Structure 1
């Protein structure tokens, strides 16, 4: 028997085995295509809203340890209870898009929406911020799934059953993990597996410094899709037929995300006793802040812009990316004031449903995805930035109007959506990459429905910005910040996980009178706007007054 004939049998067998695997893979791929392009697209308009009530049986099916938060609002301008129903709709969609371990990931993981059956990096970071007020263990799994599906040291843009992106996405996982563990006790932190996640997140930071850093020490997206806002005017055309080469463009949003990453890794390092590493992360954050101010700040416009590293020219598109350095604490107080001026400008970012993706007065503004509509994740980031710089009244007003717009849209359409009209509730005037036939066929012309990839953050804004609930190492605190437009409303917030029930009556000037009930009993309070009440059993309570 010659060598050729000796190996023919194993080769044939191997080819047959590969063919069988390929056939099975093709069958699964066909089902994936049917699900994604037919079921998710053609029948999306017929899909009913997720069930409003998440029952004990449903929670047990996915290992959820606590009932969901519940909000009720009574007021003269909400006779149809849009807030109550919208808050519940977020929870229902959040549950629906949570998946138990499968071939995609060995832990529970989240999809942004039925139309996006994949694990996305920055979507997961934001989804975890909604879950952590319901069940922190689920939030931890949602983050862990992104780490588990990484490619070497790179966290993927997305991981799907039959696709693996070659790109990354806004690096917000370390920030998300810090948000989760801040305020957790030792036992809860142990359950999160912080030490196991910290190492891969440091590796990812090093990967970004190696593969995405520009010569001037800032960061550039490898492709517009990495930014998450791919059809923004800063990148190219509405339909994506023309996209800028972003690899030589230092980006202000990327700079903000990297500062947040470094700050978060420093805090996480201290949490696990690695003080030397914490100092190094802090030094990186300090250097990035200085460089972003030196390179990306346009003194003429009073905004941060993308900058072409070859020509040195600013790319002057007034997008939400220009405001994101506020979130990371990059601007000094004077620059922060100038950003605030743009944020409250009725012709720029202070639209009826606030914080559009492009300033309303910018020539490139249109109601097409990242060219004008409101995206809750970036709006949430700007609101957090305002709070960071002490602009609590502005943050409260924007948060209230943003939540109101999302909840009223849900009341009109029956769904939580991917992005929103900055002018009014509803999605009729919105579009998705007009002129892009592929997107029209696969995803439609409107924002996808049952989307909690970040739109669910409105519930987090209610809890953290309006009610002002915070988990601190010493215990829970309550710092209500309701805007003047909320006067006359009565709200009740129930949080089964911390075991809290808060009833609040909003009065003129943002004063709040109410009761809070917890494991330690019930207390009454009367707080001025921004006044803090400690919910620790051992604390004195100056807010307790009739």
Structure 2
């Protein structure tokens, strides 16, 4: 291994441990994560063999660091192949949840593929039309009061399974999610880039105009100046749902927060050890919420206090965006320590003790905890949709091609 700034910053021992974990993870993905489904090679981070929506985006961010782009395309095509005529695209492939549309990440996944391969001819034809209809579905069928903000079906739909008090029970379809509409903002921006590359300037401008409007609406409707926090909104009552969830920090990642809002959000809440900045940050649910807990098993996985690496990943890049580099580096280092202190990478973690929880081993989105600090040190942000994509950067840094089979 050559002397490299990242290796020096981590130290030789940590760098070696990190490389070993990456090698183990890549072997698990090759051997257990790649599956045949309806004639396609797909990837999943789950031993259950289910395929999920936003997981696919984060899984492919990890794979892109090793120069692997094929699953952006094959998984996306598999989901869109099952789209209904109104644009509804289920967020799972095996066990369909009615009314739970694929979370707003499909356009970002498509763009991730194009940025890696520089093949801007895809998606084309009918597949492009399906992508357009999928995004239209969110605004036509998931915005009942037509204020421009879409609603989650439920906490289960949001992916933050048991955050029912802030995102609703199964089938309620009433909560305009801060996170949801921030993801939609990024989808609109991704569609604008894809449309422009297709030579459709009017469509690109329409998507950009829609994104500008959504950014303004979200910043105004969700922000509570008294609390200094972004809260979800109950579409039926019109009231903000005053529950502090990590979803309230997603505007940092998408750039939907003003500098003043970001300052308060970070200093009063994110970096607050009484709320989110616990021993192993970032807690998914504020510690001063009455139903906070690290060992809850009431609905799906626990998102009411535990730490989830994809949230940390988004927040690290959001903190850098708003000038909180020192805090971002602390978060990146703690995330790496959290992953490596456990014998195997896990699905999520106890924010108080650092103990791994959920699937064991897990080869899905938690792998990003291994890449956060190197990305920060190298000045990389693979989620920045306007920047050139550094495909395969980790394979080069760690001298670890994804196809490697020898230790």
Q: Give TM-score, length-normalised by structure 1.
A: 0.63
Aligned partners of 1:270 and 1:155: how far apart in 2? 24
Task: Note if contact 1:289-1:330 (Cα within 8 Å) is conserved in structure 2.
Answer: yes
Change (3 A) 1:386 1:137: same
Indicate yes or no: 2:273 matched with 1:346.
yes
- Give the C-alpha shift of residue 374 in structure 1: 0.8
Task: Note if contact 1:113-1:450 (Cα within 8 Å) is conserved in structure 2.
Answer: no
Deviations 1:467-499 (A, max 9, x none): 33467877859x9xxxxxxxxxxx9533648xx
| Residue 319 of structure 1: aligned partner | 245
Change (3 A) 1:256 1:75: closer
Task: Note if contact 1:360-1:372 (Cα within 8 Å) is conserved in structure 2.
Answer: yes
Indicate yes or no: 2:26 matched with 1:91.
yes
| Residue 494 of structure 1: aligned partner | 399
- Give the C-alpha shift of residue 106 in structure 1: 3.0
| Residue 213 of structure 1: aligned partner | 143
Match of 2:255 among 315, 329, 349: 329
- Give the C-alpha shift of residue 217 in structure 1: 1.8
Aligned partners of 1:142 and 1:424: how far apart in 2? 35
Structure 1: give runs of 5+ residues left out of the alignment. Answer: 1-70, 237-241, 428-445, 480-490, 498-546
Indicate yes or no: 2:296 matched with 1:375.
no
- Give the C-alpha shift of residue 74 in structure 1: 9.0
Higher relative contact order (CA 8 A, sep 6+): 2
Structure with a larger share of its residues in strand: 1
Q: Give TM-score, length-normalised by structure 2.
A: 0.83
Structure 2: give runs of 5+ residues left out of the alignment. Answer: 1-5, 297-301, 403-407
Aligned partners of 1:464 and 1:180: how far apart in 2? 19
Change (3 A) 1:475 1:417: closer
Aligned residue pair count: 380
Aligned partners of 1:195 and 1:459: how far apart in 2? 34
Aligned partners of 1:361 and 1:398: how far apart in 2? 21
Change (3 A) 1:80 1:222: closer
Task: Note if contact 1:89-1:416 (Cα within 8 Å) is conserved in structure 2.
Answer: no
| Residue 458 of structure 1: aligned partner | 369
Change (3 A) 1:408 1:80: farther
Match of 2:91 among 147, 157, 160: 157
- Give the C-alpha shift of residue 230 in structure 1: 2.2
Alignment of 1:216-255 (within 5 A): 216-232=147-163, 234-235=165-166, 243=169, 246-255=172-181
- Give the C-alpha shift of residue 138 in structure 1: 3.5
Deviations 1:71-126 (A, max 9, x none): 97896795795423332233223223433433xx3321122311x32221111122
Change (3 A) 1:459 1:195: farther
| Residue 285 of structure 2: aligned partner | 358
- Give the C-alpha shift of residue 209 in structure 1: 0.9
Task: Note if contact 1:83-1:408 (Cα within 8 Å) is conserved in structure 2.
Answer: no
CA radius of gyration, larger in: 1
The CA RMSD over aligned residues, in Å, is 3.1
Match of 1:179 among 108, 112, 124: 112
Match of 1:417 among 331, 346, 364: 346
Indicate yes or no: 2:396 matched with 1:396.
no
Task: Note if contact 2:255-2:318 (Cα within 8 Å) is conserved in structure 1.
Answer: yes
Deviations 1:380-430 (A, max 9, x none): 122222222233332222112112201221x2xxx3211111123323xxx
Deviations 1:355-381 (A, max 9, x none): 111123333321131111111122212
Aligned partners of 1:74 and 1:467: how far apart in 2? 11
